[in-house]
């Protein structure tokens, strides 16, 4: 890892892969061959809700500061 990449990761945090939008009965994105609802749907829903909550908290704190 070079210096620029290290600083970027330090400032922005670790990179997260985007969560794919799949229907419940589609095959899972991980390649297991299982249906999405039985494989990763619950985990992806938890991750989405956590990201939304963090974004909402960040938005309200920036409004309180007057930015």
Tokens matching residue 29: 């994105």
The residue with greater pLDDT, 63 or 11, is 11
pTM, to two decimals:
0.54
Q: pLDDT digits over 16-55, tens only?
A: 677 678 899 999 989 999 999 999 999 989 988 998 888 8
């Amino acid at each position: 890892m070079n210096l620029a990449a290290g600083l970027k990761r330090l400032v922005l945090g670790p990179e997260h892969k985007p969560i794919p939008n799949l229907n419940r009965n589609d095959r899972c994105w991980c390649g297991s061959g299982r249906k999405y609802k039985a494989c990763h749907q619950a985990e992806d829903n938890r991750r989405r809700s956590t990201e939304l909550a963090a974004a909402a908290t960040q938005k309200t704190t920036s409004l309180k500061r007057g930015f």
